[in-house]
């Protein structure tokens, strides 16, 4: 009677999902094979109520999008700190989403695991070995589902941060110049008040084949490229040669405000025109746009 009732409930629940019919029937066949006594049914009910439902709730509490988490944190920084928070947002952008979601995963598994462990400990009929088996299986299933959700998330990359910053400060983006190929990849473009373009990119380091650059001021002029602004979060390998060669091609480097390289280059007669603090980026763009 109980098994038939269970079958009816499950079939009714999935009757409109024809694509899952095969899996549903396979599950029903397995349940029919495994549930043979009242005790088996009680174990099944206990599993649903105290393991599967809490597990599903725990998984649903994990952010489904790293980017959403990252955007919320980044916006909070800029709301509170203004342009002074730019360096923090850019520096943390690549890690915020992943770290935030992993922290949420850890919080949920600890909460659900603790609740289940207390429940199993209270039931004196469950041996310590059986309790360990259940807790281990619970943790394995949580990780399996969390891993599936993890794969679907698309974390905010450093290329995305320029989109976010321009959007936050309501700076209109422009189309990239046709057939123009920069030696260092450009993420976004904005149009200055004189009609010329400014390219913006964000990178951890400048690792491209910078010694093989072929762009010249003549090429920039032909495509009306005024500057290219590079935001660099790790600048220790930004050598004097890199700054000089690329800086001569109207490429400006925005470095973390507390950077040792920024301090050094800012005080160097041959480099100071090519470096600026990250917190100055928006102000510089506004000057070019007004």
Q: For residue 74, is it within any domain?
A: no
3-class secondary structure, 65? coil
Note whether 230 and 158 are within 8 A (CB): no
Residue 15 counted as domain residue: no
- Asked if 142 and 252 sit in the same domain, the reply is no
- What is the domain extent for residue 246? 160-289
> Which pLDDT value is given to residue 155?
46
What does each of the 290 residues of the chain score in pLDDT, given as a tens digit?
Answer: 777 888 888 888 888 777 778 888 898 888 888 888 888 888 888 888 888 988 999 888 887 766 777 788 888 889 999 888 888 888 777 666 566 677 888 999 999 999 999 999 998 888 999 999 999 999 999 999 988 887 666 544 667 888 899 999 999 999 988 877 766 678 899 999 999 999 998 887 776 555 555 567 788 888 999 999 999 888 888 889 889 988 988 999 999 998 999 999 999 999 999 999 999 999 999 999 97
What digits encode the pLDDT tens for the residues 143-199?
999 888 876 665 446 678 888 999 999 999 999 888 777 666 788 999 999 999 999
Q: How many domains does the chain have?
A: 2
What pLDDT sits at residue 149?
80
Q: Do 228 and 152 belong to one domain?
A: no
Q: Are residues 44 and 147 in the same domain?
A: yes
Evaluate whether residue 267 is within a structural domain. yes
Q: Both 219 and 266 in a single domain?
A: yes
Residues 189 and 249 in one domain: yes
- CATH number of 208's domain: 3.40.91.80
Residues 135 and 238 in one domain: no
Q: Per the domain annotation, does 89 fall within a domain? A: no
Q: Is residue 260 part of a domain?
A: yes
CB neighbours (10 Å) of residue 93?
26
| Domain end among 156, 178, 199 | 156
Do 254 and 136 lie in one domain? The reply is no
| Residue 57 forms part of a structural domain | yes
Same domain membership, residue 184 and residue 285: yes
Helix residue ranges, H only, the chain = 2-13, 21-34, 38-47, 53-60, 66-81, 86-122, 128-152, 158-168, 217-222, 240-247, 260-266, 281-289
Q: What is the predicted pLDDT for the residue at 112?
A: 92
Residue where a domain stops, chosen among 138, 156, 174:
156
Residue 92, in any domain of the structure = no
Where is the domain boundary, 113, 137, 156?
156
The verdict on residue 186 lying in a domain is yes
Q: How many of the other CB atoms lie within 10 Å of CB of 106?
A: 12
Within this chain, do residues 180 and 208 fall inside the same structural domain, yes or no?
yes
> How many C-beta atoms lie closer than 10 Å to residue 217's C-beta?
11
Do 166 and 152 share a structural domain? no
Q: What is the pLDDT of residue 183?
A: 60
What the block records as the tokens of 129 is: 């070995």
- Same-domain pairing of 139 and 211: no
Q: Are residues 131 and 51 in the same domain?
A: yes
- Three-state DSSP state, 250: coil
């Amino acid at each position: 009677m109980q098994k038939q009732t269970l079958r009816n409930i499950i079939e009714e629940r999935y009757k409109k999902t024809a694509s899952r019919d095969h899996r549903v029937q396979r599950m029903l066949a397995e349940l029919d094979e495994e549930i043979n006594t009242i005790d088996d049914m009680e174990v099944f009910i206990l599993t649903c109520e105290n393991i599967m439902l809490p597990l599903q709730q725990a998984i649903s509490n994990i952010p489904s999008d790293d980017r959403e988490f990252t955007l919320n944190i980044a916006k909070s920084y800029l709301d509170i700190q203004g342009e002074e928070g730019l360096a923090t947002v850019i520096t943390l952008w690549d890690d915020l989403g992943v770290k935030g979601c992993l922290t949420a995963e850890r919080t949920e598994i600890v909460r659900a695991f603790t609740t289940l462990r207390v429940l199993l400990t209270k039931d004196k009929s469950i041996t310590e070995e059986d309790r360990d088996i259940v807790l281990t299986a619970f943790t394995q299933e949580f990780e399996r589902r969390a891993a599936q959700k993890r794969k679907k998330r698309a974390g905010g990359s450093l290329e995305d941060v320029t989109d976010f910053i321009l959007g936050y400060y309501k700076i209109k983006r422009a189309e990239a110049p046709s057939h123009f190929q920069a030696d260092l990849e450009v993420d976004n473009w904005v149009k200055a008040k004189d009609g010329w373009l400014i390219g913006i990119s964000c990178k951890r380091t400048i690792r491209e084949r910078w010694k093989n650059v072929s762009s010249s001021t003549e090429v920039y002029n032909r495509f009306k490229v005024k500057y290219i602004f590079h935001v660099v979060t790790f600048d220790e390998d930004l050598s004097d040669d890199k700054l000089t060669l690329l800086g001569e091609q109207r490429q400006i480097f925005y470095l973390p405000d507390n950077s040792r390289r920024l301090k050094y280059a800012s005080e160097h007669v041959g480099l100071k025109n090519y470096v600026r603090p990250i917190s100055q980026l928006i102000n510089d763009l506004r000057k070019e746009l007004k």
